[in-house]
Amino acid sequence: MESFDYVVIGAGSAGCVLANRLTEDGETRVLLLEAGGSDDVVEVQMPGAWSALLDTERDWAYTSMPLATTGRAVNVPRGRMLGGSSSINAMIYIRGNRADYDGWRDEFGAKGWGYDDVLPYFVKAESNARLAGPWHGADGPLRVEDPLYTHPLSRDWVGAAVDWGLADNKDFNGATQTGAGLYQLTCRDGRRWSVADAYLHPVADRANLTVRTEATVTRILIEKGAATGVVYRRAGVEQTVRADGEVLLCAGAIASPQLLMLSGVGPAEHLREHGIEVLLDAPAVGTGLQDHASAPLVWNTHGATDQRDLAESEEALAQWVSDRRGPLTSNIAEAALFFSTTGSAVPDIQVHAGATTFWDDGRGHSDQPGAGATVTLLTPESRGEVRLRSAEPTDHPNIDFRFYEHRTDLETLITGLEMVLDIAGHEPLASHLTGPLLLNTATPDRAQLAEYVRRYTQTLYHPVGTCAMGAVVDPRLRVRGVDNLRVVDASVMPAVVRGNTNAPVVMIAEKAADLIK
């Protein structure tokens, strides 16, 4: 039987980092298994085309259970290729807030994961084109740049927020997160710079690294309380490989708990319902699910072009192909707002704003020029779970977010919507807006906004928490009760961070590599 020192399950953001760092010595043998295929397609490389990847073969395209509070299911895109969700996301580089990591340490017992502990790993990973120490790195694998193209309406969003009272913030990952500005992106010279680009492709020829795509892991082998290998399907053939050291599970907040349960690690009664032998009764596996619930606000505009129309023009395509410039270097969601609904110094609302309409995960779009803002709850109290739909590994699991189960979550998001509607009334933005597109009135009351949220809620594609530190894994990311098995991905976050989750996952994997070594 084939054997390696480490078998890494999932070539997403965490798996690519581990594959790189664990093979640096030239001797440690690593097998990286990815269920999807190559990332070598132009839609991945072109920043402005990310929404075109949704619902394709490079997206797991999960769908949640209907939300009890809204009656509607939400889409849960996840990257299914080398680079994982870093090859399908909107490339926004946000780390979260100091309070998030100190909270992991103080509230969830994640010793060694406070802000001062994790900052060196953010810095180690980063190569920032504009910003420098002490908060930023200059020579890490992950390139971070200012956008090469910004639509004038995105700058108007920033100007209106500043006129409303937010600070002009040039670095959301520095001294303070609150304010308005433009997002930095994980791009390099007008091209997406995924974690596969940063960590995997440059070392793909290492003799001690083996990468296999189209390889779907069906279960982790656990013998006498220790992980010893994995079983996977490739080209219709089931294969087994042994891990002489450890199995490293990096399949993400949806698939990692699913795979643990398929392997006999999870809530005993639930596993027995699906005919799975219980090797470890671990009730917390799959619980604690969080994501950033969000709702879109959209307006028709006059006197301004639509970003989507610009990006879809032949001129924009020719400009990107010839010299990686122009509207297709934009991630569409260009402007950032972080603020608190309570007056706190720590934000509880994040806004992604730009010069096009965007709702229903991009499926909704006006034929007229427009502007939009996705208003996002950063600090949800509600928690859901991931549970098996069947014992067949290729069946998607049941995903139950339970958004707004805590009423305070809905109330905070409604207040955030009210504040963004107020911001939209300020110049230089207001004179371009002709009226709301989805709302029935320009001055909705809270009851109308509550109904609006129920109709238009979506996730911000940031699922976390289903194999959390303190519940499923210890602070060294080792699965409690199973030797030689770690989880390294967004599922280990005990609470979702205040912001986009890709940069934190890279940090987690950088720190995990040191813990493993």
Residue reference for tokens 């093979």? 23
Ramachandran angles phi, psi of 348, nearest 5°: -125, 0
Task: Provide the strand spans (E) within 161-225.
Answer: 179-182, 187-188, 191-192, 209-212, 215-223
DSSP string, 491-512: GG-SS--SS-SHHHHHHHHHHH
Closest Cα partner for 157 from 484, 430, 486?
430
Tokens encoding 394: 């290729």
Residue 407 has a CB neighbour count (10 Å cut-off) of 11
Cis before 296 (ω within 30) = no
CA angle in degrees (0–180, nearest 5) for 199-201-204: 105
DSSP 131: -
- Please give the helix or strand (H or E) that residue 233 lies within, else none: strand 226-234
Q: What is the model's pLDDT at position 366?
A: 85
CA dihedral sign of residues 146, 152, 157, 159: positive
Q: How far apart are CA 514 and CA 509, in angstroms?
A: 9
For residues 135 and 503, the answer to whether their CB atoms sit within 8 Å is no
Torsion of CA 484, 485, 490, 493, to 10 degrees: -70
Residues 6+ apart with CB under 8 A from 155: 182, 335
Q: How far apart are CA 429 and CA 138, in angstroms?
A: 35
Beta bridge partner(s), residue 384: 289
For residues 260 and 230, the answer to whether their CB atoms sit within 8 Å is no
**What's the whole-model pTM score?**
0.98
Tokens encoding 21: 């760092």
Beta bridge partner(s), residue 339: 349
Question: How many distinct helices (H) and strands (E) make up the chain?
Answer: 13, 25
Q: How far apart are CA 512 and CA 165, in angstroms?
A: 40
For residues 58 and 80, the answer to whether their CB atoms sit within 8 Å is yes
Instruction: Express each pLDDT in 359-417 by its tens digit.
Output: 888 788 888 899 999 999 999 999 999 999 999 999 999 999 999 999 999 999 999 99
Q: Which residues are catalytic?
A: 462
R_g (Cα) of the chain, nearest Å: 22
Residues 6+ apart with CB under 8 A from 283: 266, 267, 268
For residues 73 and 66, the answer to whether their CB atoms sit within 8 Å is yes
For residues 298 and 437, the answer to whether their CB atoms sit within 8 Å is yes
Q: Is 81 helix (H, G, I), strand (E, B) or coil?
A: strand
Domains of the chain with CATH codes: 1-114+195-290+384-402+461-517 (3.50.50.60), 148-182+293-379+404-456 (3.30.410.40)
Residues of the chain with pLDDT under 50: none
Q: How far apart are CA 121 and CA 135, in angstroms?
A: 11
Residues 6+ apart with CB under 8 A from 465: 253, 288, 289, 290, 383, 490, 491, 493, 494, 495, 496
CA dihedral sign of residues 148, 92, 202, 10: negative
Which whole-number Å values give the CA distances from 44 to 52, 94, 327, 329, in the listed order?
9, 20, 15, 12
**Alpha-helix runs per DSSP H in 291-428:** 307-311, 314-323, 407-423
Ramachandran angles phi, psi of 370, nearest 5°: -150, 175
Residue 404 has a CB neighbour count (10 Å cut-off) of 25
